[in-house]
Every structure is written in structure tokens, then in C-alpha cells.
Amino acid sequence: MDDDTVIKKLIIYVLEKTRSRDIIIWRGCNSKRVILTILLIFFLILIHNIFIYGSKRTSTILPSDFDKAIKLISRLHFKSPSLYGLKYRSMICTIVRNDPHLVEFLLRHLISGFSHIVVYDNNRILAGYDANITIVLAPFIAAGVVTHIPWHQNTTKLLDNGIKNGNSAECVAKHGVNADWVTILDTDDYFYYERNSVSFHTLNSLLLEMEQNQTCGIVIQWSMMYGEAKVLKQNTTLLEAYPRICGLHGAGKVLVRSNQTTLDIPHYLQCLSETQNKKTVIWNENLKIGLLHYYSKSIEEFLIKADQSVPPYIRQPIHSYDLGPTCHLKSFNYAKDYRRIFFNAHEQLKKLHPIIPNTLRLPPSLNIKEMTDYALYIHLKYRCAKRHEFDNDKYLSIHLGIKISVENSTLVDGLYHFMANFLAGVKGCWKTDTYSFCE
């Protein structure tokens, strides 16, 4: 006999006993017995509802936020199978260390149509430093779109480019062979391809076109994104914070058929067969394909990048512009579907699951006194610590000649001029949320 039947029989029993004594109860005005009987019936009905509706609620398992995050990522995943019997249609190999924009990197490349991303995790968490990205990656791994490989995590040594390039070769040899097409990107490289004003899952159409044209691989030139004269890290996505291009860089990254090419990692390739061809693609109005390179970002982020670099490749602050001192500063016109899908996915995922990794502690820095502009480096570090943003407008209002140069596009902005002339004694202008001043 189930719980529902038992409760009902108890209620009927109480009613029958009460009904036989109704006249006696009321005639005797024994109000206490009446009240107790009513309370007993109410109590039994309450127990009945708890058994019935409570059991119905517990029998329906609601999806967790983690499950919802997996489902969200799966909807972005391009599920076209390999055309050659391999595991994936396309793949990215990347190394990550202390990148707060890792989730944006993953989402935007899934939107473009990459099938799988292999993440070599160089965060030194076993040595007690850097960012622990395990939780951040968990729903991407569960959705089958990311392979997470811990790499050199128990060291404080800084790795030179030779070691990193060897890692890229390893990734292509072990994992890239499982995909029709593979590319090696840093997490500040963002592939973008637009076809007929659409960019969602457009990569496969490009791959089909290259296969039809017997192309073994392409070199995609960098579109260098402008740092917007920002000193402080922007608390938003890269897509929002840095909307303009500084210019095109002569170099870029390659997208190749791994079994039909030899790679000079990470920028060059050679076809194995004479019947195959390679080409360099350059962004234009008819071919909207590029590699958006967030090399600059804010000075604060660039200084962190410099701290983790390796002699003799120490980067100086002014090098954050890379293409400076001039930039054409045109807005990058993303396809509407690209912006809409990314912002929706990013906002939803942020509500469901952590997208920023937990940082253990900052890694040890280099001997920065080796930098030729050590004084500027320390000054900018100080401004970051004080949360002082560069006041570009005020700086130009004081240096009218520089303002004219910026208006004539012969100089990118006041921040560039300040950094280039700091050692000569030029003073900067700074602002916070409440005040602005010049030194």
C-alpha cells in the first residue's frame, strides 16, 4: 500500500469516528474535542501534501549550473566530422599562462567553427604561483571541445621561445594529426573569418575551398589591435575594450593540413607535394579573414607580460604598440551574428560557471634593471599601483603640437609620445574616477 493510500484511509477513519459523535459533540458543547478533531484532519492533509508533492519534486532532477554550462558550450560547438576519417575537422594548439581572457579565447574560436582546442597549461601552480585554470576549463572539457595538458607547472624558470616552439611541434605531432586542419595560436591571437556578412561556423567553408584548390596551408596575417591609450587593465572583454585596429603586420600564423606540410613554427610552412600550393591571405573587403592580435592591450597587462618574458627578448613599454608611432585606428566591423552570439554566450556562462581563474600568487619577475628604460618601467608600475589612468585628452590639451600630430595621424596618441620622451623629462597627465592632474 503506498503512502497516498495510507494517508487517505487515516483521514476517512477520523471523519467516520467524528461523524458518529457529531450530535454528542455539539450538544455537549465540547469545543475542545471539535477543535482537536479539525486540527487532526488538517495535520493529516498537510502530511498527505508533503508526501505527494514532495515526492514529485524530488523525483525530478533539475539540471545544475554546470550542466547548463556544458549545454551552452555544446551549442556553440561545430560538429562537422572529419572528411578523412580523423577525430576532428579542425584544431588549435595553444599554450596559456596567466591569461584572464582564456574563456573569451575559447568561446570566440568555437563561434568561428574550430572543432577542438588543445590547451597546454603552463601556469606554475605546483610551484605555488600563477592562475589555476582547472575549474574554468571543466565545462569545456566535459563538452568535448578542450583537451587540457599540464605543462612545466612545477618550476619557477622562465621558458625561452625554443622550448615553447618545441611544445608547439609536440602538439601538432601528438594531437594535430587527429584533425584535418591545425593551427598554432597564442591566446592573444583571435582567428576571424566572415563570409556573406556571417561569421558563425564559417571556418569549414574556408577549409572546403582550400581543399578544392589543392591548398596545403595558408598564412593569416596579423591585424594588430590598438591598446586605446589605456594604462590600466580594462574590466571587460577584449572585444569591447579594444575595438580598433592599429594596422596589419607582415607576419602571422599558419593554418595547415598537418600531414601535407612541414612547419617552421609558428609563422611559416612548406607543402610536401609539388601538386599542393600555399598562400598568404590579407584582409580586404572581398576576403574578410584575419588574425586579430591583442598584442598591446593595456600597459598594465603588457608590464605583466614583460615580467614573464625572457632575456634577450625583454619587452620595453613603448613596444606595446608594436606598429607605433602611427596607427590607422579604424574600427573592426565584426559581423552582427559574431558580436551577438559571443556576448550572449559570455554573459550566460559568467552566470553559470567561474570564467576567471583563481590566482595563487604573482610569479617572480625578471631582473628588470636590464631594461634600457627601467625608469619608465618603474614609473608605469607605480601608476598602475595607484590606479592612475593616463589622461590622453588633458595631455594633448597641454601639448598642442602633439595634438596636431595626432589629428594628422602622424602620431598615434599622447601616451605613445609620453613614453617615447619620458627619459627626456616629459611629464604625464593622469586621472582617477574622481580627479585629474598633470605632473
pLDDT digits (tens, 9 = 90+) for 353-393: 999 988 888 777 666 666 778 899 899 999 999 999 999 99
Task: Examine residue 364 and state whether it is found in any structural domain, yes or no.
Answer: no
- Mean pLDDT throughout 257-279? 91
> What is the structure's pLDDT at 363?
74
Same domain membership, residue 91 and residue 194 = yes
Q: Residue 172: exposed, middle, or buried by beta-carbon count in 10 A (0-12, 13-18, 19+)?
A: buried
132 falls within a domain? yes
Q: What is the pLDDT of residue 36?
A: 63
Q: Tell me: do 212 and 337 sit in the same domain.
A: yes
Full DSSP string of 81-138: PPSSS-SEEEEEEEEESS-TTHHHHHHHHHHHT--EEEEEE---GGGT-SEE-HHHHH
Give domain status of residue 17, yes or no: yes
Q: What is the pLDDT of residue 371?
A: 72
Q: How confident is the model at residue 231 (pLDDT cuts 50, 70, 90)?
A: very high
User: What's the pLDDT score for residue 300?
Assistant: 93
DSSP letters, 263-307, are: EETTTEEEESSTT-EEEEE---SS-EEEEEE-S-S-HHHHHHHHH
92 occurs within a structural domain? yes
d(CA 173, CA 334): 34
Cis peptide before 100 (omega within 30 of 0): no
Domain annotation covers residue 50:
yes
Q: Quick one: 53 and 83 in the same domain? A: no
Tell me the mean pLDDT in the region 300-325.
80
Amino acid at 379: H
DSSP per residue, 247-264:
EEEEEEEEEE-GGGEEEE
Summarised one tens digit per residue, pLDDT across range 73-101 is 999 999 989 999 999 999 999 999 999 99
pLDDT over 50 at 31, yes or no: yes
From CA 287, how far away is CA 223, in angstroms rounded? Answer: 14
> Which ranges in 179-251 belong to alpha helices (H)?
203-212, 238-241
Whether the pLDDT of residue 30 is over 60: the answer is no
For residue 56, pLDDT beyond 50: no
Contact 418, 320 (CB under 8 A): no
| Domain co-membership, 243 together with 173 | yes
Same structural domain, 186 and 136: yes
Average pLDDT over residues 235-257: 93
What pLDDT is recorded for position 57?
47
DSSP class of 200: T
pLDDT-based confidence at residue 303 (cuts at 50, 70, 90): confident
Whether 357 maps to a domain, the answer reads no
Give strand pairing partners of 292.
190, 223
Which residues are within 8 A (CB) of 149 and not within 5 positions of it... i.e. 6 or more apart?
118, 119, 120, 121
The whole-angstrom separation of Cα 32 and Cα 45 is 20
Cell representation of residue 108: 570566440
Dihedral angle computed from the Cα positions of residues 282, 286, 290 and 292, in that order, rounded to the nearest 10 degrees: 120
41 lies in some domain: yes
314 and 411 share one domain: no
Residue 154 identity: N
Structural domain containing residue 343: 68-349
In a domain, 378, yes or no: no
Statement to judge: residues 210 and 249 lie in one domain: yes
CATH of the domain at 238: 3.90.550
Are 16 and 9 a contacting pair, CB within 8 Å? no
293 and 406: one domain?
no
User: Phi/psi at 382 (nearest 5 deg)?
Assistant: -65, -45
Confidence of residue 42 (pLDDT cuts 50, 70, 90): low
pLDDT for position 264: 87
Predicted TM-score (pTM) above 0.75: yes
CA distance 119 to 138: 12
Helices marked H in 146-202 — which ranges? 161-174
Q: In whole angstroms, give the CA distance from residue 416 to residue 126.
A: 39
Whether residues 55 and 73 share a domain: the answer is no
> What gap in Å lies between CA 406 and CA 327, rounded to an integer?
10
Number of domains the chain is built from:
3
